[in-house]
Structure 1
Amino acid sequence: MVKEGEGPRPPHRSQARGEPLDGATALSGVALVTGASSGIGRHLVAGLAARGMAVAGLARSGERLAAAMAEVAAASGAQTLAVPADVTDRAAVDEAVARVREELGPVDLLVNNAGVIDAAEEPLWEADPDQWWSVVESHVRGAFLLARAVVPWMVLRNRGRVVDLASGMGVRARPEYSAYSVAKTGLMRMTEALAGALEGLDVRVFDVAPGVVDTPMTRAMPMWRGFSDWTPPERVVELVAAIAAGELDQWSGRFLRAGADDLAVLRATTPADAARQLRLRPYGDDDPLA
């Protein structure tokens, strides 16, 4: 454990719990991925386990989650743990994180992936208020509760990485997906606020937009009907793995896009000012907010 007053330590990187994929960065430690039973979360669980991490998966559907985590363990030889919980339930989140810590160890990488989408493509005034708000809660309250339960332990150890799954809809609102747009914008603000609070520590926070990955959620969205230019899920895994390895620390508090951003460029670039952060654009040189 890092004692108070000690300086930052480099991220823990070593081969453990099985062989990583050929050419992939070897990782160790414990990852906690929410929304792990299907879609992007399921790909992340498999990719992180294949690189040597012990992985805890959290999702509401206990039976499907248990099956997914068992499949990953069998394929990778990694230690996995299925933890059924609703990310919007404070007591359930606290209990889930405590269980991960007790059975696997302290969390080195938290990936806030869980979240739902608007029930239908419709303007805000036609949306069901309860369903609309449940979308915002799933992304914002869920990530807040996970960070609240996990980050203090990262601070205590002076080591950890947090990834919030962002979206292009967080920077360019879609009127037919107003709840999802609001949720992802809020999540980006939370990422930046958390990164600022952690400045000076070896605990970093990132927004990662996965692009349009072929998942049951995107398949269910009418706007992607007939779409074929999917972002390979491997690109999302590679980006998150690079973050876990401490290779992109200079991008903490900023927005990264899997499938569009080149990892080599990201590694070699130190962003300045408010690059890749949400800001108002001035209307001209005389704008008082410029």
Structure 2
Amino acid sequence: MADPAPARTALVTGASRGIGRAVALGLAAAGLDVAPLARDVARLDDVAAAVRAAGRHAVVLAADVTDADAVRAAVEQAETELGGVDLLVDAAGVIDAEVPAWEADPDEWWRTVEVDVRGPFLLAHALVPRMLARGGGRVVHLASGASSHEMPGSSAYNVAKTALVRLGAHLHDAGHARGLRVFEVAPGSVATDMTASMPMHAGRTEWTPVERTVDVVTAIARGELDACSGWFVRVTADTPTSLRALAPGAPANARRLRVLPAGAGDPLTEELTGR
């Protein structure tokens, strides 16, 4: 099936602050109408005002991404007022304490998984069928280095961001033939309220500019990176230009999570690398 048309509209979760806000405003500057979603209505109103100042339509969606009924209602509102949502950007996220799993607070641990995994699942569950009915659309998950590597602390975040990449791979495999394009975009270490609260970043002076994430998501919205659907993208190294150059020669399982063989004599080598 042909790639979907460039996105005209976007729903961005976690849009009241940080990376989500920057992405929402960047998409508006690129000519998209935007539905920013978060729980903080006052902050959302500020984002919506900035979207409108850029000459685009904004739909404020006040919802908790872990609440299935609230997500369904928000998607229905966005679809109605925007005439359909072409791009979903899942930027809402939280992180748990930087302690070993056995020292973690169980409620905080599970809340992290709910926001970071249940939220994107509920958005996809409500929105992807509508995209497919129109011939396709695009989904961007805000992934992380925690999606691909182990962490000594914040085990819920580590689990959740890894699971998010698996969810994205599933959506790509199940929906690609019907026009769905899915991307796992890791923004690097960006100066936000969340990273400011994290001990691991105490004293950090070098941050990844949020504009790098905005550039990649904007290129995705335009359809420029559809050949990279299913990929894990890290903006500290990847740009729209470099990704377009990589895509033509990439293997079918490029940028996917895989278990590596334990050497040339590993009896699982073929099974691990052949699918």
Normalising by structure 2, what TM-score?
Answer: 0.94
* Cα distance, 1:263 vs structure 2: 2.1
Letter in 2 for 1:66: D
TM-aligned CA distance change 1:246 to 1:221, over 3 Å: same
Output the CA distance in 1 between the equivalents of 2:158 and 2:244.
29
* Cα distance, 1:284 vs structure 2: 1.2
Matched, 1:77 2:63: no
Normalising by structure 1, what TM-score?
Answer: 0.89
Please state whether the residue corresponding to 2:216 is helix, strand or coil: helix
Output the CA distance in 2 between the equivalents of 1:70 and 1:53.
14
Matched, 1:226 2:203: yes
Counterpart among 209, 217, 224 of residue 240 in structure 1: 217
In the alignment, is the contact (CA less than 8 A) between 1:8 and 1:159 conserved in 2? no
Output the CA distance in 1 between the equivalents of 2:3 and 2:28.
23
Letter in 2 for 1:104: L
In the alignment, is the contact (CA less than 8 A) between 1:43 and 1:237 conserved in 2? yes
Q: Deviations over 1:78-111 (max 9, x none)?
A: 1111110000000000000000011112110000
Letter in 1 for 2:182: V
TM-aligned CA distance change 1:227 to 1:182, over 3 Å: same
* Cα distance, 1:259 vs structure 2: 2.8
Matched, 1:197 2:174: yes
Counterpart among 19, 25, 35 of residue 14 in structure 2: 35
In the alignment, is the contact (CA less than 8 A) between 1:30 and 1:53 conserved in 2? yes
Letter in 1 for 2:62: P
Match of 1:98 in 2: 76
Alignment of 1:242-281 (within 5 A): 242-270=219-247, 271-281=250-260
TM-aligned CA distance change 1:170 to 1:237, over 3 Å: same
Counterpart among 22, 26, 33 of residue 47 in structure 1: 26
Match of 2:273 in 1: none
Match of 1:114 in 2: 92
Please state whether the residue corresponding to 2:59 is helix, strand or coil: strand
In the alignment, is the contact (CA less than 8 A) between 2:135 and 2:179 conserved in 1? yes
Letter in 2 for 1:30: T
* Cα distance, 1:123 vs structure 2: 1.1
* Cα distance, 1:30 vs structure 2: 0.9
Output the CA distance in 2 between the equivalents of 1:195 and 1:205.
6
Output the CA distance in 1 between the equivalents of 2:115 and 2:3.
33
Output the CA distance in 2 between the equivalents of 1:114 and 1:244.
18
Match of 1:89 in 2: 67
Output the CA distance in 2 between the equivalents of 1:262 and 1:67.
29
Output the CA distance in 2 between the equivalents of 1:128 and 1:152.
36
Q: Deviations over 1:22-53 (max 9, x none)?
A: xxxxxx51100000000000000110000100
* Cα distance, 1:277 vs structure 2: 0.8
Letter in 1 for 2:2: P
Match of 2:272 in 1: none
The alignment covers a number of residue pairs equal to: 267
Task: Tell me whether 187-196 or 280-289 shows the greater mean CA deviation.
Answer: 280-289
Gapped runs of 5+ residues in structure 2? 270-275
In the alignment, is the contact (CA less than 8 A) between 1:11 and 1:244 conserved in 2? no
Gapped runs of 5+ residues in structure 1? 1-6, 13-27
Output the CA distance in 2 between the equivalents of 1:262 and 1:240.
10
* Cα distance, 1:9 vs structure 2: 5.3
Aligned alpha-carbon RMSD (Å): 1.2
Match of 1:126 in 2: 103
Output the CA distance in 1 between the equivalents of 2:51 and 2:210.
16
* Cα distance, 1:250 vs structure 2: 1.6
Identity of aligned residues (%): 53
Letter in 1 for 2:24: V
